[in-house]
Every structure is written in structure tokens, then in C-alpha cells.
Amino acid sequence: MSTNDNDILSPKGIRTFLIKPQLGDNIIIFKTLPSTNETAKKLAIEGAVNGTVVIADEQTAGKGRLGRSFFSPLESGIYMSIILRPNFKVENSVLITTAASVAVCKAIEKTTGIKPGIKWVNDIFVDGKKVCGILAEASSNFETSTIDYIILGIGINFNTNSNEFPKQLQNIAGSIYKENTNNVTRNMLIAEVINEVIKVVENIENRQFIREYKNRCIVLKKDIFIIEKDRKIAGRAVDVDENGGLVVQKQDGTIITLNTGEISIRGNF
């Protein structure tokens, strides 16, 4: 992938691979942005339509979950935010990140043949390293209990060399580049991500993606730590419920369900 000199992001290059090419009319590409999620949010407030996609070749202030930053170097990653205006109920918006992780895994697998796994909630892993993170931000209307918009931010390390990652990330972060995938372009993968996201969002209420999520979930049946602000709680991940919550059996035998937060696999990561 890194060896492909033609890997220049373009709406036209992406549109070629879209199932619904008309979506390609709403793809906006920037050379550099602080954060595609922030730009997408501004556009959503200004009225951008469902399916608008904001992409940047580089982010200077890429945002991660839990107030973290997302390393977003020039031209070696995919940094994209999809504006969604779904007409499902507000309570279903929590399913978006779970559904999106399945969509991104499928897109990576279709284009590269690599089979990624998911670390709850929505980190995508290949060969024990995180290759993609997802940050969904929603704005809802309290009076009508409807969703105004969701910004679905997806960051994929495409062909970042391991020594390019900051020191503190070098053992944790990886990229999807493999020698046998160097005919895959970022345009192709972006299009496939859009295809899969649109499909899963259209069918979100039937929750079929939960089964696939479980199949790909790398923490199930593993001993884990639930990471809280000032302590770690040991337990075992036993299931994923129909809302994407992680069902954990604590060491005293009690069962709890996590709906958000962070875990680590014990003796790993």
C-alpha cells in the first residue's frame, strides 16, 4: 500500500467503488485539518446532508475517545468523519459505535483479506496491535427525543511505519499494511467503509451486527481489568448484550454490564 504512488485521495477515486455512487457527491477532502470530526460538526450544524463525508490527508489535532488524541500523520492514514442523520430513536445511537466497528472490520477484510478483531468497545486490532479507532459524537433534540446528527469519526493507520509512531504508541499501534496488499488504495478502503457503514446503519434496529461483533470480539472469554479513574477491577468478559454492552463476571462472582469505558486484557496489551 505504501508503495502505491497513485494513492491520492479524491472524491472521484472514492466514488468508483461506492455501491451508491450518488453519495460521492458529498465527499469533501482537505489536505490538512485539526480534526475531521470538528469540521463535520460545523457542516452538520450548517445543514449538511445525511451521508456527507469529511476526509483529511492529515490531522493536526485528531481526537480520540476519553479526551485522548489520535496520531494522524500525513498521507499514511485514513481520517474520515461521516455525518449521519438517522431516523431511529435516540436510545439506538449507542449502537452506532458497535455497528461501525463491525462495518470497518468488514471493509478492511473485503479490500485487503486481513481479518481484524475488535477490542471492546470499538478498537480494531490486527496482529495484536490497534490499527483503527472510532469516535462517534451525537447531537440530539431533547424535546422530540430524536437525533439531530451523529458524527462518526474513523481513523485507520493505513501504512504508517512502526517507527513513525510516537514512542509510547510503538508497542500498541500498528497499521494494516502487508506486502501482499500493496494494490489497495486509501480511496478503495474509504469507499468500502462508507458502503458498509451505510448498510449497517440502515439495518441497525434488527441488531444483526451484534452476532458478527461477538465473533470478532477479542476480549470474550478472557480475563480482563475494568479500568476506572483510580482503580482496576479484575473480572472475566463473558458476553456482549444486544445493546453492545460488555457483560463481565467480577472475581466475587457478581455480573455487571459495561456500557462505556475502557478495559484491558489481563497479562496482555
Q: Are 154 and 193 within 8 A, CB to CB?
A: yes
Smaller CB distance to ligand BTN: residue 193 or 224? 193
Give the whole-angstrom CA distance, residue 107 versus residue 191: 9
Binding piece for ligand BTN, criterion CB under 6 A, among 20-28, 58-66, 91-99, 235-243: 58-66
Pick from 76, 129, 122, 62: nearest CA to 95: 122
The 10 Å CB-count burial string (b at 16+, else e) for 123-136 is bbbbeebbbbbbbb
Instruction: For residue 8, give the DSSP letter.
Output: -
The binder of ligand BTN chosen from 62, 86, 235, 244 (CB under 6 A): 62
Pick from 184, 182, 183, 206: nearest CA to 193: 184
Site map for ligand BTN, 120-159, x if CB under 6 A? Answer: -------------xxx-----------------xxx----
Cis status of the peptide bond prior to 54, with omega within 30 of 0 = no
> Closest separation between CB of residue 249 and ligand BTN, Å?
26
The binder of ligand BTN chosen from 13, 15, 76, 79 (CB under 6 A): 79
Residues 6+ apart with CB under 8 A from 209: 98, 99, 102, 103, 200, 203
Smaller CB distance to ligand BTN: residue 153 or 174? 153
Smaller CB distance to ligand BTN: residue 56 or 188? 56
Site map for ligand BTN, 23-42, x if CB under 6 A? Answer: ------------xxx-----
Query: Taking CB under 6 A as the rule, does residue 116 contact ligand BTN?
Result: no
- Count CB atoms within 10 A of the CB of residue 207: 16
Instruction: Give the cell for residue 30.
Output: 482537505
Query: Taking CB under 6 A as the rule, does residue 65 contact ligand BTN?
Result: yes
Query: Taking CB under 6 A as the rule, does residue 70 contact ligand BTN?
Result: yes
Query: Taking CB under 6 A as the rule, does residue 76 contact ligand BTN?
Result: no
Give the whole-angstrom CA distance, residue 167 versus residue 268: 18
Smaller CB distance to ligand BTN: residue 11 or 64? 64
Query: Taking CB under 6 A as the rule, does residue 101 contact ligand BTN?
Result: no
Residues of this chain that bind ligand BTN (CB under 6 A): 35-37, 59, 62-65, 68, 70, 79-81, 133-135, 153-155
